[in-house]
Structure 1
Amino acid sequence: MVDHSSYLVQYLPILIFLAVALAISAICVFLPMGVARLTGTHNPNADKNSEYECGFPAFEDPRSQFDVRFYLVAILFIVFDLEAAFLFPWAVSLKETGWAGWLTMMVFLAELVIGFAYAWKKGALDWE
């Protein structure tokens, strides 16, 4: 006869971990909100509720014009951010990859520099 309760006991550390994570998450979310209400710093106004990420109101005419340079800069940021994410594992494994890994990364970086120079020459990074 197999004792199924011993199998369930093995999940107890996972359940404790999830409960602690949930409690810490709830504290990190709800404690600042409660402190703001108790101390009187919760004072919404038009400036606090205005748009701050994209630069234009979210609920307007969908055919209204907007500045596409914001999206171009965002795409360039993502490209160069991914490039930085590729550099860390490459640097860690450089001893194992040897000259072939070094040369491959130099070609990759050269392509990125050429792309950066092209974007700069086209004025994609200029903000007026």
Structure 2
Amino acid sequence: MEGLETYLIVATVIAAGVLLFAGAMGAARALRPQVCSAEKSLTYESGVDAEGSGWAQSQIRYYLYAFLYLIFAVDAVYLFPWVTVVKDLGWATLGEMGVFLGVIAIGLIHAIRRGVLRWI
């Protein structure tokens, strides 16, 4: 019966969360103004009226810069903490980190082949 008490506590917390959310959404719906107008239906962005069709192309190089950032950020997030505890974890983690760095290297080689690292 001890396990059932734990599930009862979890179910109570989940039910309280759902009720709190439903109550907040109901209160927001009841208290907000319900005035609809044509002016409210217009697209608004930074105080400037919308012009044109809204279609704009962005350069693919921005996605490649984001890709490179992810390669180095993920590398740093996992590599630096790992280096501090590698002695305690043993040789198996050295192989695992080798696989991880291999995947990172594949991403970097892909970026080099695409010419992302060429600045001129």
What TM-score, normalized to structure 2? 0.50
What TM-score, normalized to structure 1? 0.47
Larger RCO (CA within 8 A; separation ≥ 6): 2
